[in-house]
Amino acid sequence: MRTAVLQFPGSCDERDALAAARLVGDADLHWHRDRDLRGADVVVVPGGFSYGDYLRAGAIARFSPAMESVVELAGEGGLVLGICNGFQVLCEAGLLPGALLPNAGRRFTFRQVDLEVVRTDTAFTSACEPGERLSVPAKHSWGRYYAPEETLDALEAGGQVLLRYDSAHNFNGSLRDIAGVMNAAGNVFGLMPHPEHAVDARTGSTDGLRIFESLRLAVEGARA
Amino acid sequence: MPSPPTPTVDEAIALGLTSDEHALISEKLGRAPNQVELAVFSLLWSEHCAYKHSKKLLRTLPTEGPQVIMGPGENAGAVDVGGGLACVFKVESHNHPSAVEPFQGAATGVGGILRDIFALGARPIAVLDSLRFGDPERSERSRYLLDGAVRGIGHYGNSIGVPTVGGEVYFEEPYEHNCLVNAMAIGLGERDKLVRSAAAGVGNVVVLYGASTGRDGIGGASVLASAELGEADEDKRPTVQVGDPFEESKLLECSLELLERGLIVALQDLGAAGLSSSASEMASKGAVGIDLDVARVPLREADMEPFEIMVSESQERMLCVVEPSNVPDVLAVCERWEVHGTAIGEVTGSGRLRVLHGERVVGDMPVAALVDDCPLYDLAPARPEKPLYAPAPATLAADATAQEALLALLASPNVASRRPLFEQYDAIVQSRTVRRPEECDAAVLLLPDGGAIAASIDGNGRRVAADPYRGTIGAVLECASNLACAGAEPLGTTNCLNFGNPEKPHIAWQLVEAVRGLGDACRALDAPIVGGNVSLYNEGASGPIYPTPVVGMVGRLPDASRAGRTGFVQEGDAVAIVGRREPSLAASELSRLRGEPLPDRLDDVDVADVRATQEAIRDAVRDGLLSSVHDVAEGGLAVALAECCLAGGIGARAELPQAGEPPVAPSVALFGENPGAFVVSGHPTALAQLAERVHLDIVGEVGGESLHVICGAAGIDSSLAELHAAHDSLRRFFP
């Protein structure tokens, strides 16, 4: 499996995502101006402050040439993972429903959070045990997941909410404790916490590896 | 365009020069300086750039060791951390800008120190910060400065993707009008690829890249950094620079790519005094001259005068020297990163900094006069005859119980948990952070070979105010103790000397004594000083700040997975005190709470003995003997025990000896401070192994949901919840 990790001016966590993706397969950084994804099985839109978060987090990155290809790839069923700023970009690009608003506390906040895995039968969570809780760091200023009530109802009914914060750890005030959502087709997933920062016991937990391991299983399963 | 009239001596004085200095400049030039030249000289001959009151002292510091790759004089210092890698680090102040505009002041402080790191070709991997404010409980201004500085540090570091992994903050009355914002950055690079800033190669091209140049920060180095703060500081707000971490992020990646591809000969960031300083420094180090055409500099405001372009402190700019054949490639890399790149000058053999505006020469100065000929002044130190600092108002009764004292200490802003601050910083980006803040006494950063860098920053100004020599030794020892707790041996030291006006004899005395202490301690620990910064004239309407040498230290440990932890871990582990117990309440946190005046000296410290204890602790951590390890600092042993409980989420019982002959009072044993003591926990047999090497007293056991301490007639019995509530007191300043 080969993963392309997008790199925008202002990306911060792209090397971390690259290292995490390399634990489960081949991976490269992919420059935002480069339209050709060269047959990547998975695209990761990483965290950071693409374009300095000017205008609105993720609002400018969605217009880059690479993102146009990502939208195409998503339309063809390719796997796309957006982390933190990448989640914001995917929402801005219309690949995922809802929006990320400023944290309830109006401050950048960094904490280790517990996440409840809502579903384990998806391309992004199949390596998790049912009912498992993941300990993963979160760090952002704009992480409050918001969507209209009807959308939230539909997301829950459609099984598109894959991760929820432990309610005591929902520091950003996300509606219904939502930490990560998938599109209806099941091939695009965005989350605010950082699984790529939870892949080495020396620097924290290894729980985030499950997300990358799930992607590997999905790609290899599709090939088998 | 007619030339502006030649400035008068009075105009030179208004820019911070003396009439003698103006006369000397005229002698060097063979005529009176014109407007451009005066602007350039006034900055390069400012305290901030020329270190004219501190250079002679700094020459006494130890700067050499087998591990040192780069010492003072370069953009930052560098030490060897093995595997062909160099750890590059430096601490710098941004005090006066932060006192005027805390958010931008602190943000650009971080931006500036990061540029010093990547100017050497190293990737910045961590930031630590050292902050000082007035009492936030009594001062709205201090709360405003605290909030703004923390937001500013977070804004810059978080956005550029460099983790803020540690730091320290103290709140004391003398910083009310003149807060301190010092930032330390650490970088990692291949030791053979570090680049120096010396310009070389006559005919090579000088390229300016990064943000365009505006009128922000004009005169920052002379007007703000080299004079006391006064009443009308609001008017100085335009002299504070504005930072843009997104621009810097591009600048960083662009610079590292230029260096990686070997496209540039020399590199220098633009900091204080902008182009003037960068070009002069590069020319001076390379013993060459530089011609700059200011008409080619991309401007934010078209009508800027040549002198304004030369002294602008607009942020996020770099200056490099390039062989002519490489210029197209350099400009292409700049374009890829969406960074302006412009050839603005040339290296010459003239030994002069010439400023051109198109065809016209608007300034022509010998580089040596700019960089080397600023007069250095001798200090006239005199020990003050009466105390310089009034005691803080008492907030704790002298007859308070031990329990009341412990809770008051934990809630004191100087001791309380820093979590409400560091939660506003990204501590983990770049995936090297082995120990997050409050998990270990030092920050621990993973190296590719499985080892780690440990880093600490410290400088308790109150103790230095009481005794500049011994107080500064204490700050150095505290850093080394923090490294020992991580399992690291010191490799090198950086420092920022934050003091008042050195032209005043008692401030000069503080400075001389502190530098003597710094040198003696670093020599005794074999932790040479590889770089640093001096910030003088830190005085406000109510007097000078506490003399505050901020010490940053970097070390190495062989196995990151064995880095020490602060918090108690294991029910049933034995708790022990390691090292000398000579606790004293002199200049302690408890004395401050009681409103007691500062003593006029601290106890002598046997540095060699403390070093031996640190080495024993370090080896025990490396051998995996200890479950937890924490050094005893502000608030003494009782606070250290409480911190171990809080960090681990588990209680402890202890019976503390009243060390000394005759035995000290329980309050001294519980809350007295002394360098070189540690609280450790572990299996009794492991502790017995450590006891073969160093003095160790087993005093209790880990377990339960509360901290229970007996010391003579005094006793403490507090639940973890009660301790936590007190320790979380800073939370209320960040609503």
Over B653-705, what HEC string results? EEECCCCCCCCCCHHHHHHCECCCCEEEEECHHHHHHHHCCCCEEEEEEECCC
Structure token digits, residue A213 = 């391991």
Query: What is chain B's length?
Result: 735
The answer to whether A51 contacts B425, with C-beta atoms less than 8 Å apart, is: no
How many CA atoms lie less than 13 Å away from B300 in the CB half-sphere?
Answer: 13
Question: Phi and psi dihedrals of B258, rounded to 5?
Answer: -60, -40
> What is the distance between the alpha carbons of residues B163 and B432, in angstroms, rounded to a whole number?
9
**Which domain covers residue B32, as residue numbers?**
1-397
Residues B424, A109: C-beta atoms closer than 8 Å: yes
DSSP B391: P
**Position B600: which residue type?**
D
- How many Cα atoms sit within 13 Å of B319 on the Cβ side? 31
Inter-chain Cβ pairs, chain A and chain B, closer than 8 A: 88
Is residue B159 in a domain? yes
Q: What's the first-to-final CA gap in chain B, in angstroms? A: 55
Helix (H/G/I), strand (E/B), else coil: B725? helix
Residue B386 domain-assigned?
yes
pLDDT of res. B236? 58
Task: Identify whether the C-beta of residue B563 lies closer than 8 Å to the C-beta of residue B440.
Answer: yes
Q: Is the pLDDT of residue A185 over 90?
A: yes
The residue-averaged pLDDT of A1-17 equals 94
The closest of A132, A123, A137 to A83, measured between CA atoms, is A137
- What contacts B249, CB < 8 A, 6 or more positions away? A9, A10, A12, A49, A52, B159, B160, B161
- Count how many residues are written for chain A: 224
The strand ranges marked E within B298-359 are: 317-322, 340-348, 352-357
- Residue that the structure tokens 């230290």 belong to: B553
pLDDT above 60 (res A72): yes
Number of Cβ within 10 Å of residue B587's Cβ equals: 24
Indicate the helix (H) or strand (E) that contains B421: helix B419-422
Contacts of B127 in chain A (CB under 8 A): none
* CB proximity A10 to B under 8 Å: yes
Residue B558 lies in a domain: no
Q: How far is CA B25 from CA B42, B43, B45, B333, B639, in A?
A: 10, 13, 10, 40, 56
Residue A54: its chain B contacts at CB < 8 A? Answer: 246
* Number of domains, chain B: 2
Q: What residues of chain B score a pLDDT lower than 50?
A: none
Mean pLDDT calculated for residue range A1-21: 94
Q: Mind telling me how many Å the CA of B421 is from chain A's nearest CA? A: 10
Domain boundary among B372, B397, B422: B397
Here the ipTM equals 0.96
Residues of B with active-site annotation: 48, 94
Q: Which domain holds residue A206?
A: 2-223
Chain A residues lying within 8 Å of B432, measured CB to CB = 203
Report the residue of chain A nearest B450, measured CA to CA.
A202
To the nearest whole Å, the CA of A53 is away from the closest chain B CA by 8
State the CB neighbour count (10 A cutoff) for residue A38: 10
| Dihedral sign of CA atoms B272, B275, B278, B281 in order | negative
Residue type, A69: S
Give contacts of B453 with chain A, Cβ < 8 Å. none
Is A18 an interface residue toward B (CB < 8 Å)?
no
Query: What is the spatial distance between Cα B469 and Cα A14, in angstroms, rounded to a whole number?
Result: 47
A84 is catalytic: yes
Q: How far apart are CA B186 and CA A101, in angstroms?
A: 33
CATH code of residue A114 = 3.40.50.880
Residues of A in contact with B244 (CB under 8 A): 52
**Mean pLDDT of all residues in A16-32:** 97
pLDDT at B430: 97
State both tokens at B583: 């606790």
Tokens of B186: 């650490």
Cα→Cα distances B248→A196, B277, B572, Å? 24, 20, 51
* H/E run at residue B89: strand B85-93
Interface membership of B148 toward A (CB under 8 Å)? no
**Which residue in chain B has the smallest CA separation from A50?**
B246
The three-state secondary structure class of B77 is strand
pLDDT of residue B9: 93
- d(Cα B308, Cα B321) in Å, to the nearest integer? 23
**Residue carrying the six token digits 């608030």:** B635
The DSSP string of B144-165 is: HHHHHHHHHHHHHHHHHT--EE
- Identify the pLDDT of residue B1: 53
Q: What is the CATH number of the domain that holds B597?
A: 3.90.650.10
Cα end-to-end distance, chain A, whole Å: 12
Instruction: Find out whether B367 and B283 touch, Cβ atoms under 8 Å.
Output: yes
Report the alpha-carbon distance of residue A202 to residue A200 in Å, rounded: 5
Residues B310/B296, Cβ–Cβ less than 8 Å? no
Strand blocks (E) in B277-427: 289-293, 317-322, 340-348, 352-357, 360-366
CB contact under 8 A, B425 and A110: yes
- For B427-489, the DSSP string reads --TTS-EEE-BTTBSSEEEE-TTS-EEEEEEE--HHHHHH-HHHHHHHHHHHHHHHHHHHT-E
CA separation for the pair B578, B565 (Å, rounded): 16
Q: Is residue B100 part of a domain?
A: yes
Q: CA–CA separation, B54 vs B46, rounded Å?
A: 12
Residue with tokens 């901030």: B48
Alpha carbon B346 to chain centroid distance?
35
Cα(B723)–Cα(B735) distance, rounded to whole angstroms?
21
Is A137 an 8 Å CB contact of chain B? Answer: yes
Q: What is the dihedral of CA A159, A161, A165, A168, to 10 degrees?
A: -60
Q: Chain A: nearest CA to B732, how far in angstroms?
A: 13
B462 belongs to a structural domain: no
* A15:B155 CB<8 A: no
Domain stops at, among B375, B397, B419:
B397
Q: Where are the alpha helices (DSSP H) in B493-635?
A: 505-525, 589-593, 607-622
Q: Give the count of domains, chain A.
A: 1
Q: Which two tokens stand for residue B514?
A: 């502190």
Question: Is residue B656 within 8 Å of residue B699, measured between CB atoms?
Answer: yes
Would B541 be classed as within a structural domain?
Answer: no
Which pLDDT score, from 0 to 100, does residue B217 have? 66
Please report how many Cα atoms fall inside a 13 Å half-sphere around the Cα of residue B530, on the Cβ side: 30
The answer to whether B176 and B392 are in contact (CB under 8 A) is no
B contact residues 388-447, partner A, Cβ 8 Å cutoff: 422-434, 446
Does A135 lie at the interface with B, CB-CB under 8 angstroms? no
Domain contains B473:
no
Cβ of B245 within 8 Å of Cβ of A203? The answer is no
Point out the domain boundary residue: B377, B397, B417: B397
- Helix axes of B245-260 and B327-336: crossing angle, nearest 10 degrees: 140
Nearest residue in chain A measured CA to CA from B250: A9
Cβ–Cβ of A203/B432 closer than 8 Å?
yes
- pLDDT over threshold 70, residue A103: yes
Is residue B77 situated within a structural domain? yes
Distances (CA, A) of B626 to B463, B606, B632, B679: 30, 25, 16, 10
Question: Which residues of chain B have a CB within 8 Å of the CB of A199?
Answer: 431
Distance CA B163, CA A91 (A): 26
Q: Which residue has the tokens 């070189």?
A: B676
Query: Distance between CA B203 and CA B52 in Å, rounded?
Result: 33
Which candidate from A48, A110, A202 shows the least CB-CB separation from B427?
A: A110
Residue A167 neighbours by CB distance under 10 Å: 10
* Separation between Cα atoms, residue B635 and residue B99, nearest integer Å: 29
Min Cα distance A151 → chain B (Å) is 31
Amino acid at B357: H
Closest Cα to residue B104, out of B186, B216, B212, B255? B216
Q: Nearest CA to CA, how far is A57 from chain B (Å)?
A: 12
